[in-house]
Amino acid sequence: MNLLCNPVGAFLPPKQEAFEAQFRKELQSRHGVEFNRLYTITNMPISRYLEFLLESGNYEQYMERLANAFNPAAAAGVMCRYTISVSWDGALYDCDFNQMLDLPVDHGAPAHIRDFDPVQLNHRQITTRNHCYGCTAGSGSSCGGSVAS
Amino acid sequence: METYYHPHDLGKFAEMGKGNKDLWEKFMAYYSAVFAEGALTEREKALIALAVAHAVQCPYCIDAYTQASLEKGSNIEEMTEAVHVACAIRGGASLAHGVQMRNVADKLSM
Ligand code: SF4
């Protein structure tokens, strides 16, 4: 069993290793529950979470927090560097977030699965926007949890 | 000036280094070392800082260590208990000084 943790609010997730150790201890002592890994994931400033940030007046502070926590080591491990996201109609995206935002791969690489070309895709320029700061803040974030220590 | 405290002033903290770079750097090096993982975890230290922030009633520190505590994985129950610890010590310290009052009163009374 693996656990996933998203912060419930406008703040960054805890350090994955420390949080995993804390959860291991608490879940074992309180409920006798054991698990394999705990992954922490940063909330991306898009969709419903973006609405929450705007409505609660936290948007600017959260974006500043993400930008100030920019970590080059995390940027080196973001998932768009080694995965591709494919939508139901075969369109290619750098990641699921870009798919949600309707930002297809569009920097000189095929944008549809029928033209799949790993070499070109490996050398494409990734489409980035402000939400990418969510992947590069602190210990970084991907679907597999943090990417840097 | 409507108020002495502005949230955005917290971001200007580093400007204190302009007056004396050497002391500022020494303070920051010490500060970072204090809050690094040691015999206590970073999370526990953030909770202590949160309690102390309430004891010294610093709105900047309350802001910073509320956020830090959440980001280190503490929940609102733990944070509330930390504030109660600060409250109990502050209140207890006042009450314990009542002994001084009793000593003086005893001495003055017939
Ligand atoms: S949000 Fe940006 S940085 Fe993160 S995986 Fe997608 S493209 Fe890469």
Taking CA atoms only, the protein residue closest to ligand 1 atom 1 is: A132
Pocket probe mutation, ligand 1, options A83, A84, A125, A128, max atoms within 8 Å of Cβ: A128
Structure tokens at B47: 């909770």
Model pLDDT for residues A55-69, shown as the tens digit of each residue: 999 999 999 999 999
Q: Which of B42, B43, B71 sits opposite A12 (nearest CB)?
A: B71
Using one digit for the tens of pLDDT, what is the confidence trace for A82-136? Answer: 999 999 999 999 999 999 999 999 788 889 999 999 999 989 999 999 999 999 9
pLDDT band for position A141 (cuts 50, 70, 90): confident
Q: How buried is residue B73: exposed, middle or buried, by Cβ count under 10 Å (0-12/13-18/19+)?
A: buried
CA distance B37 to chain A (A): 10
Mean pLDDT of chain A: 92
Task: Ligand 1, residue A141: give the atom nearest the CA.
Answer: 4
* Per-residue pLDDT at B1 exceeds 70: no
Q: Which domains does chain B have, with CATH numbers?
A: 40-108 (1.20.1290.10)
Q: Quote ipTM for the complex.
A: 0.74
- Maximal CA-CA distance, chain B: 60
Residue A23's alpha-carbon distances to A78, A93, B21, in angstroms, are 25, 34, 41
| Phi, psi of B31, deg, nearest 5 | -60, -45
Q: Residues of A117-141 as b/e, b for ≥16 C-beta within 10 angstroms?
A: eeeebeebeebbeebbbbbbbbbbb
| Chain B residues within an 8 Å CB radius of A12 | 71
pLDDT at A138: 87
Contacts of A65 in chain B (CB under 8 A): 67
Rounded CA-CA distance A109/A126 in Å is 10
